[in-house]
Amino acid sequence: MPAVRREAFGRMPPEEGGGEVERFVLESDSVRVEILSFGCIIATLETKDRAGQFSDVVLGFDTLEGYTRKHPFFGAVVGRVANRIANGSFSLDGKKYQLFLNNGPNSLHGGAKGFDKVLWSPEVLPNGVRFFRLSPDGEEGYPGDLKVWVTYTLSDKELAINYQAQTSKTTPISLTNHSYFNLAGQGSRDVYDHEISIEADSYLPVDDTKIPTGEVAAVQGTGFDLRQPVELGKHLQKFHLDGFDHNFCLREGQGRRLVARVFHPPTGRTMEVHTTQPGVQFYTGNNLDGSLKGKGAATYPKHSAFCLETQNWPDAVNKPHFPSVLLHPGEEYNHTTWLVFSTA
């Protein structure tokens, strides 16, 4: 059974209420993960290479101050609705809701102060930690009192992230973790030598503000066909792609299924993503520009990490033919994503 340690990590600034932020350390023989009560952030995730050496494979900061300042959601749980909502607006039961616009003309990852920028209440479990918060009716423009639980558990080589929620009014909800991975170790220059595959027959084309056009396009014969492993750098060159920031439509099914696999040949590190969610946003750190000082004074240039954000499809609240993103009173939102680490 992995041990769980809890320790102080810092205090919120007085203008943010000044609460204490704790760090929870989950450890097994092959994985070590540190999670913060601020934003449910995965701050460190260490896994072994084929020689048995541990390296931290997620981007982030050494101190709380890094996370309380503006950054691209490193390691955080984002919500109420992950990804983009067109024009930051939607209608429910004849009423229009307007959200904060924080991504050009759109609302992204919950708005001005999403779930990534708040303190959660922690509860230590035998092999993990559960965080809770109540998102009040009207927070960031969303309807309903929303109770949310995010649970991290570590079992040998597998980190499970479970999301549960209940609401007092019908509301859109789509939760994900926004970790940035580099299997060569955080601070490595790029992810071009990573081999990736995604089990998806279709993807969502987007407009110039990254909102899905509504088309569900086949990957066959395009640069989005990742059903067989591709070496990322060569693949981007071959198809003249600046990077990925797209939702891949996963094969339908209610239960756990393998949806993506990433292999780093030089170290042998492998990461599999399993989920119950209908989509995964594959993002290659296109907006990283080296301006942030990360852990160990590392800088994070463009394409120095990738994200595989399991979630509902972007802008689903405005696209009736997408999987429903609505949670109704009396129902429970319940999704799990599993990250499985090994060496080859």
**What is the full DSSP assignment across 234-249?**
HHHHHTT-S--EEEEE
Confirm or deny that 333 is annotated as ligand binding. no
Backbone torsions φ then ψ of 73, nearest 5 degrees: 65, 30
> Given this model, what pLDDT does residue 175 score?
98
Q: Is 84 annotated as contributing to ligand binding?
A: yes
Please compute the mean of the pLDDT values over residues 108-132 and round it to a whole number.
Answer: 96
Q: Which of 22, 34, 140, 309 is catalytic?
A: 309
Q: Where are the domains positioned within the chain?
A: 3-343
pLDDT digits (tens, 9 = 90+) for 211-258: 999 999 999 999 999 999 999 999 999 999 999 999 999 988 779 999
With contact defined as beta carbons under 8 Å apart, do 21 and 10 qualify? yes
**3 pLDDT exceeds 80?**
no
The pLDDT value recorded for residue 17 is 85
Instruction: Write down the pLDDT at residue 15.
Output: 87
Check pLDDT > 90 for residue 25: yes
In the CATH scheme, what is the code of domain 3-343?
2.70.98.10
Given this model, what pLDDT does residue 2 score? 60
Distance (Å, whole) CA 48 – CA 110: 34
Please determine, for residue 183, whether its predicted confidence score (pLDDT) is greater than 80. yes
Q: How far apart are CA 274 and CA 280, in angstroms?
A: 10
- Cis peptide bond upstream of 80, omega within 30: yes
Is 235 considered catalytic here? no
Distances (CA, A) of 207 to 86, 174, 210, 245, 317: 11, 21, 5, 12, 17
Q: Measuring CA to CA, which residue among 282, 82, 245, 108 is closest to residue 175? A: 82
Task: Tell whether 245 is in a known binding site.
Answer: yes
Phi-psi region of 98 (alpha: psi -120 to 50; beta: other; left: phi over 0): beta
- Residue 147: pLDDT over 90: yes
Q: Which of 40-49, 156-165, 252-261, 303-312 has the lowest mean pLDDT?
A: 252-261
Assigned token pair, 219:
């990957």
Each residue of 306-344: b (16+ CB within 10 Å) or e?
bbbbbbbbbbbbbbeebeebbbeeeeebebbbbbbbbbe
What does the pLDDT average to over 123-147? 97
User: Contact at 8 Å (CB) between 125 and 152?
Assistant: no
> Against a cut of 0.75, is the pTM above it?
yes
Active site residue 309: yes
Tell me whether residue 179 is annotated as binding.
Answer: yes
pLDDT tens for 31-57 read 999 999 999 999 999 999 999 999 999
Q: Which of 178, 194, 246, 303 is catalytic?
A: 178
Q: Are 250 and 259 in contact (CB under 8 A)?
A: yes
Q: Biggest alpha carbon distance in the chain?
A: 60
Average confidence score pLDDT of the chain: 96
φ/ψ of 18, rounded to 5, equals: 70, 20
Q: What are the residues facing 128 on neighbouring strands?
A: 125, 153
What pLDDT, on a 0 to 100 scale, did the predictor assign at position 254? 75
Q: Is 303 annotated as a binding residue?
A: no
CA atoms of 9 and 69, how far apart (whole Å): 16
